[in-house]
């Protein structure tokens, strides 16, 4: 009996020792969900290609598709070689990762004790790679129909390393300066600041630097294929569930809450935009409906995992209104040619979403977050405003510097002749449509 008791005691001590030294363990359900979410976010790339491609003239549709696909390939390689290490590697003074994970050195299939404790770190790498891919792709909407392909590729590589990676580290990296700024830090659940504010301000810089299209604003052609654009918007909406709900990194109630908030905001913003078009122009339009839905998605991305469905509805409603104003009023008054409204939708929507999260975030939804102004914490709104301003300034001015640098080496803008003929033929020797007599 004493021998048996001693054996039980020894077994218990061994079990306690193993549990104390064991690291994070992989959860198959969480892993499956994040794998699916990564695939959903990747689907947003062809969605964006169809959305943007349907909105340009038919002589430029293939150039949009080619730019999106090239970004998928280029940025994936950049992410594996240097991007992940700079964005999520061990912190250097809150500014950037230290580069110790270059080419994923030291990163493997075991969970990460820092970022994703229930899924393989490789899965986290893949999930975040899709965010790194979709962000620069959004900028295409600002310079559509007027950029040379070779300089475009160089710019995208530089922008991914010098703009996207630092901003991602500031908000999501362990020790990043915006994520540790007061209280719970700046809240950005799924990339409203890292992705949309960042890409939106880069889009504004692109529109200003490259100048207007030759036809702008007097003889602009309507979208050449609205069904393409509607298909793209649907794919974006579908993929956004992986974008936002997947950012919970677990198959749990928080993912479900983010899923619902995402859908509610998109639906509310699409409805709001349609009503505004109806009141202003006499008829609602499909283009307005799908643009409004995307604006709602961009607006709720920061707060998807922090706000209630009611908060998401208000964010979507006001997101639709402010983005509608930016596209239909502000752009005309300011005179910049943001071809496909990348700044007006993603930039303005992201800025609004950053502030809105500081108002409607609540720890009742996510205990790891913070309460916002509506729940008795005005400081969080101030923190969100500072994060938005820092990201806006950094992205805008560094993007401008990169445009000047690349343009000094290789001219960025196509010639007048190439712009008239179209980028499909002049940049890629292909045509989107073949006419058979």
Identify the CA nearest to 288 among candidates 275, 301, 298.
275
Question: What is the Cα–Cα distance from 153 to 135, expressed in whole angstroms?
Answer: 14
Q: Is the pTM of this model over 0.75?
A: yes
Residues 28-72: tens digit of each pLDDT: 999 999 999 999 999 999 999 999 999 999 999 999 999 999 999
Q: Give the rounded distance of the alpha carbon of 430 from its chain centre.
A: 30
* Stretch 396-425: mean pLDDT: 96
Phi, psi of 25 (to 5 degrees): -115, 145
Walk me through the domains of the chain, giving residue ranges and CATH numbers: 32-428 (1.10.3430.10)
List the alpha helices (DSSP H) in 149-210. Answer: 149-159, 165-172, 198-210
**214 pLDDT more than 90:** no
Residues 145-202: tens digit of each pLDDT: 999 999 999 999 999 999 999 999 999 999 999 998 888 899 999 999 999 999 999 9
Q: What pLDDT is stored for residue 389 in this prediction?
A: 98
Pull the structure tokens for residue 187.
């809240």
What DSSP designation does 415 have? Answer: P
Q: What pLDDT is stored for residue 436 in this prediction?
A: 52
Question: What is the Cα–Cα distance from 71 to 157, expressed in whole angstroms?
Answer: 9
Query: Which residues of 35-190 form beta strands (DSSP E)?
Result: 91-92, 96-97, 111-112, 116-120
Residues whose CB is less than 8 angstroms from the CB of residue 158 and which lie 6 or more positions away in sequence, other chains included: 402, 405, 406
Identify the CA nearest to 424 among candidates 48, 56, 51.
56
Residues whose CB is less than 8 angstroms from the CB of residue 7 and which lie 6 or more positions away in sequence, other chains included: none
Compare 322 and 10 and report the one with higher pLDDT: 322
Show the CA angle centred on residue 173, arms to residues 172 and 176, nearest 5°: 95
Contact 22, 111 (CB under 8 A): no
**322 pLDDT more than 70:** yes
- Percentage of residues of the chain with pLDDT beyond 90: 89
Residues 219-246: tens digit of each pLDDT: 777 899 999 999 999 999 999 999 999 9
Residues 366-394: tens digit of each pLDDT: 999 999 999 999 999 999 999 999 999 99
CA 281, 285, 291, 295 torsion-angle sign: positive
Residues whose CB is less than 8 angstroms from the CB of residue 343 and which lie 6 or more positions away in sequence, other chains included: 142, 200, 201, 203, 204, 207, 326, 336
CA atoms within 13 A on the CB side of 333: 7
* Stretch 278-287: mean pLDDT: 96
Q: Which of 73-87, 106-120, 254-268 has the lowest mean pLDDT?
A: 106-120
Q: Which residue has the tokens 């509310």?
A: 268
**437 pLDDT more than 70:** no
Question: What is the Cα–Cα distance from 83 to 104, expressed in whole angstroms?
Answer: 10
CA atoms within 13 A on the CB side of 394: 21
Pull the structure tokens for residue 64.
């949009």
Question: What is the Cα–Cα distance from 142 to 345, expressed in whole angstroms?
Answer: 11
**Count of residues for the chain?**
437
217 upstream amide cis, omega within 30 of 0: yes
What DSSP designation does 413 have? Answer: B
Q: What pLDDT is stored for residue 217 in this prediction?
A: 77
* Stretch 107-128: mean pLDDT: 95
Q: Determine how β-strand 111-112 pairs with β-strand 116-120.
A: antiparallel
- Percentage of residues of the chain with pLDDT beyond 70: 94
Phi, psi of 117 (to 5 degrees): -85, -10
Show the CA angle centred on residue 138, arms to residues 172 and 136, nearest 5°: 55
Contact 189, 301 (CB under 8 A): yes
Residues 342-363: tens digit of each pLDDT: 999 999 999 999 999 999 999 9
Nearest-10 Cα torsion for 234, 235, 237, 238: 120
Averaged confidence pLDDT in the chain:
93
Question: What is the Cα–Cα distance from 294 to 97, expressed in whole angstroms?
Answer: 32
**1 pLDDT more than 70:** no
Three-state secondary-structure class, residue 119: strand
Question: What is the Cα–Cα distance from 352 to 93, expressed in whole angstroms?
Answer: 29
Residues 330-341: tens digit of each pLDDT: 999 999 999 999
Q: What pLDDT is stored for residue 7 in this prediction?
A: 36
Three-state secondary-structure class, residue 274: helix
Residues 260-278: tens digit of each pLDDT: 999 999 999 999 999 999 9
Question: What is the Cα–Cα distance from 219 to 283, expressed in whole angstroms?
Answer: 22
Residues 9-36: tens digit of each pLDDT: 344 433 333 333 456 799 999 999 999 9
């Amino acid at each position: 009996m004493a021998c048996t008791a001693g054996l039980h005691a020894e077994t218990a001590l061994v079990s306690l020792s193993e549990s104390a030294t064991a690291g994070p363990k992989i959860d198959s359900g969480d892993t499956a969900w994040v794998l699916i979410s990564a695939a959903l976010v990747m689907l947003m790339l062809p969605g964006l290609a169809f959305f943007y491609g349907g909105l340009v003239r038919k002589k430029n549709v293939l150039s949009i598709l080619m730019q999106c696909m090239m970004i998928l390939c280029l940025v994936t390689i950049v992410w594996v070689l240097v991007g992940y290490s700079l964005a999520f590697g061990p912190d250097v003074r809150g500014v950037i990762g230290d580069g110790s994970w270059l080419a994923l050195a030291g990163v493997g299939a075991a969970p990460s004790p820092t970022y994703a404790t229930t899924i393989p770190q490789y899965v986290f790498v893949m999930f975040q790679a899709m965010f790194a891919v979709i962000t620069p792709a959004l900028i295409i909407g600002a310079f559509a129909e007027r950029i040379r392909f070779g300089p475009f590729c160089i710019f995208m590589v530089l922008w991914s390393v010098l703009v996207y990676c630092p901003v991602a580290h500031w908000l999501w990296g362990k020790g990043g300066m915006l994520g540790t700024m007061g209280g719970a830090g700046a809240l950005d659940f799924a990339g409203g600041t890292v992705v949309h504010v960042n890409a939106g301000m880069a889009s504004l810089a692109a529109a200003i630097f490259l100048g207007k299209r030759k036809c702008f604003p007097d003889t602009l052609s309507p979208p050449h294929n609205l069904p393409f654009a509607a298909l793209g918007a649907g794919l974006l909406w579908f993929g956004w569930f992986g974008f936002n709900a997947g950012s919970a990194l677990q198959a749990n109630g928080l993912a479900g809450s983010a899923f619902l908030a995402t859908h509610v905001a998109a639906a509310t913003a699409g409805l709001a935009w349609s009503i505004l078009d109806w009141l202003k122009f006499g008829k609602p339009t499909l283009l307005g409906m799908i643009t409004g839905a995307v604006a709602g998605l961009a607006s709720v991305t920061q707060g998807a995992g922090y706000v209630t469905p009611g908060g998401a509805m208000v964010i979507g409603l006001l997101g639709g209104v402010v983005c509608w104003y930016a596209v239909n009023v502000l752009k005309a008054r300011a005179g910049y040619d943001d071809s496909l409204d990348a700044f007006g939708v993603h930039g303005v929507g992201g800025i609004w979403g950053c502030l809105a999260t500081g108002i409607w975030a609540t720890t009742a939804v996510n205990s790891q977050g913070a309460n916002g102004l509506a729940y008795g914490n005005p400081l969080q709104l101030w923190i969100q405003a500072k994060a938005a301003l820092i990201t806006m300034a950094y992205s805008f001015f560094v993007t401008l510097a990169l445009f000047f640098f690349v343009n000094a080496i290789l001219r960025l803008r196509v010639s007048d002749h190439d712009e008239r003929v179209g980028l499909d033929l002049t940049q890629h020797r292909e045509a989107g449509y073949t006419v058979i007599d």
